[in-house]
């Protein structure tokens, strides 16, 4: 005796790829098999950076204020955001500076900072290609 209610659930076919999988797969391809860099990039990049409306200068001011107040967690998060904005803008110096600051505040709790810092030049190149392909290029000024 069958007691199921309603229609049976449809199983998703393996041919269907959602936008998240497409983005993840393309990022992985751009990392050329470097799994550590892929994991770091997937955690630290903004997928849709145009939705970040706060200016970098304000993020940095907040980070410095939090740090001065001894609120290292909020300072770390702010520096992490600044590093993500720098990745988006292909600013290698900013990526190194802000992720270094975030790493120093986080200690060993976020290994993705260290991975990204070791390969920051590659990370900036990958981010540039990624944002170009997904039409999320920063406005030229």
Q: What pLDDT is recorded for position 13?
A: 46
Q: What pLDDT is recorded for position 16?
A: 53
Residue 24: CB atoms within 10 A of its CB come to: 15
What SS3 state is found at 13? coil
pLDDT tens digits in sequence order for the chain, 141 residues long: 555 555 555 544 444 556 677 778 888 999 998 999 999 999 999 988 888 899 999 999 999 999 999 999 999 999 999 999 999 999 999 999 999 999 999 988 899 999 999 999 999 999 999 999 876 555 544
CB 91 within 8 A of CB 110: no
Q: What pLDDT is recorded for position 96?
A: 97
Q: What pLDDT is recorded for position 141?
A: 44
């Amino acid at each position: 005796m069958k007691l199921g209610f309603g229609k049976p659930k449809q199983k998703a076919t393996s041919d269907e790829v959602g936008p998240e999988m497409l983005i993840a797969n393309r990022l992985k391809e751009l990392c050329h098999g470097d799994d550590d860099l892929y994991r770091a990039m997937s955690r630290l990049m903004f997928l849709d950076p145009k939705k970040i409306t706060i200016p970098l200068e304000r993020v940095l001011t907040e980070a410095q204020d939090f740090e001065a107040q001894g609120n290292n967690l909020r300072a770390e998060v702010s520096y992490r955001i600044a590093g993500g904005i720098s990745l988006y803008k292909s600013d290698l110096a900013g990526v190194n500076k802000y992720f270094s600051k975030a790493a120093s505040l986080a200690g060993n709790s976020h290994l993705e900072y260290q991975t990204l810092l070791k390969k920051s030049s590659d990370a900036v190149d990958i981010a540039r290609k990624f944002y170009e392909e997904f039409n999320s290029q920063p406005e030229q000024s």
